[in-house]
Amino acid sequence: MNDHYPFELLPLPYEFDALEPFIDAQTMEIHHNRHLKTYVDNLNAALKDYPQYHLMSLEQLIRFVCKLPVTIQTAVKDNAGGVYNHNFYFSIMGNLNQRPMGKMNCMIKKAFGTYENFEVALKESALKRFGSGWAWLAIDSACTLKIISTANQDTLLSTDLRPVLLIDVWEHAYYLKYKNKRVDYIDNWFNVINWNKVEEILIAEL
Ligand code: MN
């Protein structure tokens, strides 16, 4: 897979129905095949006439968006962020009813006291995000876990936080099944985290 123009739609690393009953297959199919695909297509369209940026990676485009021509800054920021966030989000789901293990288990207990406290804190951040956005679990420069939320398709790439986990709280992530009840989606979402993958990400970031 290219990590530069033209960007491609990464395949979902599990079946659309793999997260049932917590997240339904139709939501996953529309989320991946339509929402994520639209971000990929719009990112490619924004870059099409600018070959000088065709070898930049997704992360480079997001980090250096201010150096791009003003006419494409917004489109690149929103759509590259959309691709980055969704690829990350889809990658850390896929196992059912797991709990953190190993290093992540230790770090959650250190930062939050208990796993349950961690759920409460992430849930609060995800619920309080007004409108559309994301809530993240990330490591700060002192290697402590932090929870933070971002608006729209903003990422943490411009901060010194290194993300290990994130939840999409745009309505398209849950509306078909949970309607307006973001809180029910969040409660159920904790059951679809692939903690093996999160552990892998954490260890690579430490
Ligand atoms: Mn989404």
What pLDDT score was predicted for residue 1? Answer: 72
Is there a single domain that holds both residue 136 and residue 201? yes
Tell which residue, 60, 85, 62, has the closest CA to residue 153: 85
How many folded domains does the chain comprise?
2
- Is the residue at 132 inside a domain? yes
How many Å lie between the centroid of ligand 1 and the Cα of residue 149?
14
- Is the residue at 172 inside a domain? yes
What pLDDT score was predicted for residue 143? Answer: 95
- Is the residue at 167 inside a domain? yes
Strands 162-168 and 145-151: unpaired
Q: 90 and 12 in contact (C-beta within 8 Å)?
A: yes
Residues of the chain with confidence (pLDDT) below 50: none
Is there a single domain that holds both residue 134 and residue 191? yes
How many Å lie between the centroid of ligand 1 and the Cα of residue 133?
9
What pLDDT score was predicted for residue 13? Answer: 97
- Is the residue at 136 inside a domain? yes
Is there a single domain that holds both residue 116 and residue 75? no
How many Å lie between the centroid of ligand 1 and the Cα of residue 172?
6
How many Å lie between the centroid of ligand 1 and the Cα of residue 110?
30
Is there a single domain that holds both residue 49 and residue 136? no
Is there a single domain that holds both residue 131 and residue 171? yes
- Is the residue at 18 inside a domain? no
Is there a single domain that holds both residue 200 and residue 112? yes
Is there a single domain that holds both residue 191 and residue 134? yes
How many Å lie between the centroid of ligand 1 and the Cα of residue 12?
13
- Is the residue at 56 inside a domain? yes
How many Å lie between the centroid of ligand 1 and the Cα of residue 35?
7
Q: 76 and 50 in contact (C-beta within 8 Å)?
A: no
- Is the residue at 8 inside a domain? no
Is there a single domain that holds both residue 76 and residue 113? no
Complete DSSP assignment for 4-50: SSSP--PPPSS-GGGGTTTS-HHHHHHIIIIIIHHHHHHHHHHHTT-
Examine the fold and report which residue of 37, 58, 91 is the final residue of a domain before the chain moves on. Answer: 91
Look up the domain containing 66 and give its range.
Answer: 25-91
What pLDDT score was predicted for residue 2? Answer: 82
